[in-house]
Structures are given as structure tokens and as C-alpha cells.
Structure 1
Amino acid sequence: MKNFFSSLKKLRKSKHEDEDENIGEEEYVEIDTEKERERLDKVIVRPFVMEDFSDIKDVLDVLREGHTIALINIKPLKDKDLVELKRAINKLKKTCDAIEGDIAGFGDDYIVVTPSFAEVYRTKSTKAVSED
């Protein structure tokens, strides 16, 4: 029994000596590249103001990238030209269908368009965007 405790004592001392020897060695930090990818994959909620039909290009570009939910204020175009507004909404709907996203109006002056990974929650007060 005495030998058993002696061997444990020696074993314990040798472990502490090994740890003391490793203190002077350099340590390396491993960089997790997945964190960088996650940062790039964050969802962006971005507001847009549609004053002209040509403003639709920026909205369509970010939607096609697939990481942006677009909140579009259509009031300036609605006040200016209803025909252009309908053209812009049709273009948004076609792009939304192509990317398998979702589109909905809320209030009288806003449209929300989402990529395929998101869906718009609809209640009775949420209007469906329709072609007139």
C-alpha cells in the first residue's frame, strides 16, 4: 500500500513538471472561418424609396443577392404616376416569384419583399399585392 501512494505521488509530480515545461511554449489561436461566413450571411432589412420606375433596379439587385429584405416606400411614385407604379410592382412580383420570395403590402404606402428564406406573416390588415 505504501508503494501505491509513493507511485501516485511521483505521478502527480511528473504531471506538474510537464505543465511547467509547457508554459514557455508558444500558443496558437485557431481562427474560425465559419464566423466570417456567418457575418456575411446576416440578413439585412433595407428601406427603399421609389420615386421613379428606374429606382426599382437597386431593389431587384439586392433581392437577387438573397440576403436582403426590402421595405419599399411607394408613396412618391404613387403620387406621381400610377401606371409606372403598377409596372414597378409587376416587376417586383416577377422577380419575387423567380427567387421564390414573398411580397406584401402594408399600409397604403409600403411594400415588403423577402427572399426565399423569409415569409411575410399575413393578417386581415395585411394586403396582398395584386395586379390591377
Structure 2
Amino acid sequence: MGIKGFLTKLVTGGSQDTYSRTRGTEGYVRLETEADFAAGLNAPERYVSVYKLRGFSDVDGCTGQLSEGNIVLLDIKPLADRSMTELKHAIDEIKEICVSMGADIAGLGENHLILTPPNVKILRAKGDGFESTMKRIRSQMA
């Protein structure tokens, strides 16, 4: 289809879905069509899950939610009150899983972490977040 056909379709409101090429597709870049855009609007629902980290066994549940594309708010206080050593191991495991799947993790205050799936990134203020939370945990263990 030449430029004339393209402009005719554009002016007459022809759907982009009806576009076709009779020549090979070599050298062409595929553009998003109306159907592609609509499919994006019908993407699966995402949720914000809230978890309490009571033990190392809770790691699988919160990272499972993360792998499904959900955001996880993790309360680490129950495990921090019980065992700082187990908390450190659990957080190290969660961090390793997040890194392996391209997810993001950050501290929210002293007792909470937020885990986001690969398509959601966390904007951080300098000096805040996950690393400062881990420093606090390590200093309490000493």
C-alpha cells in the first residue's frame, strides 16, 4: 500500500487492522495496531498483596505473588521480633529472588519492605530504602 492508500485510510477512518502488505516484510518495523493496543487494555488484573513475614517459610508465598506480577507490601516486624538471624536469611533470599527475576525491592520505614514485579520500578531518595533497612538489621544482630 502506498502513501495514497495510507492517507485514504487515515482520512476515511479505516481500521489499522485492515492494513496488509503484499510484499515481504523484510526491512519493515511492525507497528502497534488498534487490536494490540486494546489487548494491552485487557491485561490481567494486578494486585497489591500484604504479607506478614513470620518465618522463612513465608518467603515462598510473597515471592509467588511477585512472580504473578503483583506488588507485595511485606511487614517484617513479626520475624524481627522473633529472630534477627532468621530475618536476615529470609530477606537475603527474597533479595536474591528479586534480582534473579528482575524485580525491585525497597524498605518502607523500619518494619516494611515493598517488592515490585519486573515491569514496576521504585524511585528512591538517596540514603533511604532497602540498604538502610539491611544496615539497621545487621547492626541489631551485632
Instruction: Give the TM-score normalised by structure 2.
Output: 0.61
CA RMSD in angstroms comes to 2.1
- Aligned twin of 1:96: 98
Structure 2 unaligned regions, length at least 5: 1-37
In the alignment, which residue of structure 1 is the partner of 2:121?
119
Q: CA deviation at 1:105?
A: 0.5
**SS at 2:123 equivalent:** coil
1:43 corresponds to which of 43, 46, 57: 46
Q: Counterparts of 1:62 and 1:53 in 2: how far apart (Å)?
A: 16
Aligned residue in 1 for 2:3: none
TM superposition shift of 1:85: 0.3
Alignment of 1:56 with 2:45, yes or no, is: no
C-alpha distance in structure 1 between counterparts of 2:80 and 2:129, whole Å: 16
**Deviation readout 1:45-67 (Å, 9 max, x if unpaired):** 111011111111101211122x1
What displacement does 1:37 show?
Answer: 4.6
Aligned to 2:75: 73
Structure 1 residues without counterparts, runs of 5 or longer = 1-32
Letter in 1 for 2:99: D
**Share of identical aligned residues, percent?**
30
1:35 deviates by 8.1
Choose 1 or 2 for highest CA Rg. Answer: 1
Listed one character per residue, the Cα deviations across residues 20-65 of structure 1 (whole Å, up to 9, x for unaligned) are xxxxxxxxxxxxx948952x2x221111011111111101211122
- Structure 1, residues 69-125: CA drift from partner, whole Å, max 9, x if none? 110000010010000100110011010001101101110000001111011121146
1:109 maps to which residue?
A: 111
